[in-house]
Structure 1
């Protein structure tokens, strides 16, 4: 990102440079600019206009002392007023800088100065590589200010302040008045924030809420807000997000969730009966949403504002005369081999019958048959069932079966981008979006563009910023800004919010211009660690700048998280069992093991039991189990402690002076792959975790061959439940599928306390209770104590 370099004085004589009119009175000047009139020259501190810049690592600026201030100045015979916009001279061959004049003063040394508040072109921001996505004349008012000699002004220009348009349809283009540039947003370096401009006229130019948009359908239950969880996995992110919103006083419900993993969908469905869980590809879900909207328009449930289009064959076959069909005139007598539709049960876009072609399908309950005989039928073949279809669509519309534009108040999700993974040797660094493995981020953005929610939270791995200089992150931000969403980027470490795991992830906020852009919640626990990204992104690590002034709790350790769990063996078969009679040993253990009815989670059935779920480890092979028995039960133990291993200059080799140790099977105790892993320098293979440690990242695979996953005191890998605790899952959150599938669900999840913290920030912002000028906020609680339901909540 380009940053304004030192401004350059012009070479021309300065006889045409002077202030105009009478100076502002000394009393008024001292009130408006008190730091300019000090006996001692102060440095920037927390009381200056640059407070945010100072807190975010900006160099301290020496405040020039002034003799007097003016409202006007003459530059080359042109009158420059306070708050005028100007070109500021840059180096030869470079585009002139753009600034707003916010002070005109004669310095103590008699020289004329102006203070500039700088505009950033798209090239100067995080979206520089995608400037073509925004309008050519669009610039962004920054919060960066500094003093410059009056001779640096090149000329006066016209920059128009225009309101951000409604986020409704791209068909309606706003009118930009004649100008050199225009702006509708500000750009702030802290967390690379794009936000609605908050000038004095912002109130009069604020955009109309999409609630009034005729192209959107508003949830009539104003006290309840709906969330769509895309790429939901087993629901950790939305679970935490809704709990955090609840703590802030906002009733947010995960109404819809979409994921390709069947077992993850089963887990989410089990724990969230209130959620419509769809096991399908996100791109198919998007097509379904568009077709659902057309069906709602077809039956006059919503007004149609666009020409009818449909990919479904039925629209082409039926023609316009279909609406004029008299249902009573249809012959209801069935032909041989025909069956009568009793009702439609579901709708989907895809290929549920594996016929090799995707289309819109409806799930049919046949008259005289039960649920086991339901079938998926192509929409194109159901032309004689208009009354049944209308009944299904009407009921679905009333129950919010699928989101329509305006009904999803918020969308969260982590689109998978395997194409940027460091494990992918064939990454496309020049054009990452041409890689099919990165296409889901485009699908995610297309769904946002269609549904136009008030708030969006996108999550991804840190490689989103590292790979190809943050190509995909920049593209996502640029797309949101082009859609006129406010955005903010941040990285959050899971352990900083109350779990015994580091796990650094990227989060991108987006909010409509009618809403407050949520801040990032500051850490509550002391595990802040410097994660390496480019210089441009290093300050978006949440809490990095404020670390020295935060009063943080001690980091949680593995013992804090799992030491109360009963011992199990490599061969544990029970996925439901009793807790340890001894009970919890730490506050974390006390609250993470609450009954579901005692938490903010939705209650399932009677919910009277208090059992421990999923406390099963991956069953290792006989060979690997025997290898683990060689690993001492001490801190730092790993395969290097096996017999016959030598370590020289931190590299492992086999000790050829002794006979190589063998397993009972005859295989080597020390496997060759462990010796060769990372050229013999790694300590991860068959590594044993220890009680006072913080786990780096919970992974999706539990094999100990190249990672440290062995229990401190038991000869097995960490169980599914132990991994789940490291991710902050409440113990009452039961998982579905095989043990391997459960590990994948837990490893892919967003740590629940991170979701809680972000949900709280969202809730406060949605109620207008956050400060627009602060990109971060303190949390009034810590996890997992905060998930305990209040007495009044339990009685609802």
Structure 2
């Protein structure tokens, strides 16, 4: 058994994937109370700790780990907004940049057997030789962990979304590597598409919900935006509108072509953001219906199962989903860790018997 403590857990994408891989979720830690409500509801056998890691001591985790046989994995997805291309706030005044540094004390004092880190690729580009990632790698080396770090795309692991992520896996039990792609490598297992994941959901009008599917609720639209969607063909976007529907800020502007666009049915979606149910924030229009995608459709594109329910306002639920690690991506990493542990255990047994 591998026991998991999920730091910066948010609503629980990482925990859900690791649980699906066969691990035991012990606790999730985050300072977001709304995400915590979702987490606690979906992981009733785990503890949700509403804590700020900067004021949280490793000793407080001790009682949760007592009497638990098996290995220990720490997962961490520190807030990624300070390292994204879209982040416009001055990075030197964004105190979230240092959150990964506060994770060090838990590694030092509790010595987990495995560490799983997930973030945006930009994490490795900020002050490459003295930024938070380089400091974390130096810590792992000092503590004699083996590790591998790669930039991967979620759609290569069964997620219907092109979402570049930085993944690090570390182990105290021998050399380990980030697993290779599981989808798109052979014709028998192609990349997942938008329609495979949301095509069977009941139709909705903007502002409506469907009680037969949890969280299948779409944001309302102004009359003007309804007309814009009606004028947006399948696979189309704002460039297909008549001139009287064009936004003034888009006149003569060739960029931001994804905003107000429809998702393409037979392709993975583009990366979901924290505003993934808003037409004006990306290609988040439904492929065929005249609205933005619903909360449940966004959750499915992050590979959450339908029995995983979200709580809070529409904006809060969209933020929770957009911030989450895709479940299938976390599951793939969990399977890789479990395979590694099985091999390490077999090798140890072979050496002992020899």
TM-score higher than 0.5 here? Answer: yes
1:270/1:291 CA distance change after superposition, 3 Å: closer
| Equivalent residues in 2 for 1:280-679, closer than 5 Å | 280-286=51-57, 289-290=58-59, 397=63, 400=64, 409-425=72-88, 427-428=90-91, 436-469=95-128, 471-512=131-172, 515-526=173-184, 553-574=189-210, 576-577=211-212, 612-632=213-233, 634-635=234-235, 637-644=236-243, 661=244, 669-675=245-251, 679=253
1:408/1:451 CA distance change after superposition, 3 Å: farther
* C-alpha distance in 1 between matches for 2:242 and 2:232: 10
* C-alpha distance in 2 between matches for 1:713 and 1:417: 32
1:709–1:717 CA contact under 8 A, matched in 2: yes
Q: Which of residues 6, 9, 16 in structure 2 aligns to 1:239?
A: 16
- Structure 2 gap segments, 5+ residues each: 348-354
1:410/1:706 CA distance change after superposition, 3 Å: closer
1:257/1:630 CA distance change after superposition, 3 Å: same
1:406–1:452 CA contact under 8 A, matched in 2: no
1:468/1:439 CA distance change after superposition, 3 Å: closer
1:228–1:408 CA contact under 8 A, matched in 2: no
> Aligned with 1:624: secondary structure?
helix
* C-alpha distance in 2 between matches for 1:617 and 1:284: 38
2:197–2:301 CA contact under 8 A, matched in 1: yes
* C-alpha distance in 2 between matches for 1:285 and 1:751: 27
Q: CA deviation at 1:623?
A: 3.1
> Aligned with 1:520: secondary structure?
coil
> Aligned with 2:38: secondary structure?
helix
Q: Which of residues 257, 261, 280 in structure 1 aligns to 2:28?
A: 257
Q: CA deviation at 1:706?
A: 4.0
Q: CA deviation at 1:508?
A: 1.1
> Aligned with 1:753: secondary structure?
helix
More helix by share: 2
1:425/1:732 CA distance change after superposition, 3 Å: closer
RMSD: 2.7
* C-alpha distance in 1 between matches for 2:150 and 2:66: 28
Q: CA deviation at 1:421?
A: 2.6
- The reply to whether residue 693 of structure 1 matches residue 267 of structure 2 is yes
- The reply to whether residue 681 of structure 1 matches residue 278 of structure 2 is no
1:425/1:734 CA distance change after superposition, 3 Å: closer
> Aligned with 1:479: secondary structure?
helix
Matched residue, 2:350: none
* C-alpha distance in 2 between matches for 1:617 and 1:770: 49
* C-alpha distance in 2 between matches for 1:291 and 1:695: 40
Q: CA deviation at 1:770?
A: 9.0
Matched residue, 1:759: 334
> Aligned with 1:625: secondary structure?
helix
**Residues 59-116 of structure 1, C-alpha deviation per residue, up to 9 Å, x if partnerless?**
xxxxxxxxxxxxxxxxxxxxxxxxxxxxxxxxxxxxxxxxxxxxxxxxxxxxxxxxxx
> Aligned with 1:267: secondary structure?
helix
Matched residue, 1:725: 300
Q: CA deviation at 1:480?
A: 1.2
1:628/1:477 CA distance change after superposition, 3 Å: same
More strand by share: 1
2:208–2:217 CA contact under 8 A, matched in 1: yes
- The reply to whether residue 276 of structure 1 matches residue 47 of structure 2 is yes
Return the TM-score normalized by structure 1: 0.41
* C-alpha distance in 2 between matches for 1:291 and 1:687: 47
- The reply to whether residue 230 of structure 1 matches residue 7 of structure 2 is yes
2:147–2:177 CA contact under 8 A, matched in 1: no
* C-alpha distance in 2 between matches for 1:505 and 1:765: 22
Q: CA deviation at 1:435?
A: 5.1
Matched residue, 1:203: none
1:521–1:758 CA contact under 8 A, matched in 2: yes
Q: Tell me which structure has the larger Cα radius of gyration.
A: 1
- Structure 1 gap segments, 5+ residues each: 1-223, 247-251, 294-396, 527-546, 578-611, 645-660, 662-668, 773-796
1:498–1:525 CA contact under 8 A, matched in 2: yes
The count of aligned residue pairs is 345
Q: Which of residues 31, 38, 42 in structure 2 aligns to 1:267?
A: 38
- Higher relative contact order structure (alpha carbons within 8 Å, sequence separation ≥ 6): 2
Q: CA deviation at 1:629?
A: 2.2
1:551/1:482 CA distance change after superposition, 3 Å: farther
Q: CA deviation at 1:714?
A: 0.8
2:209–2:218 CA contact under 8 A, matched in 1: no
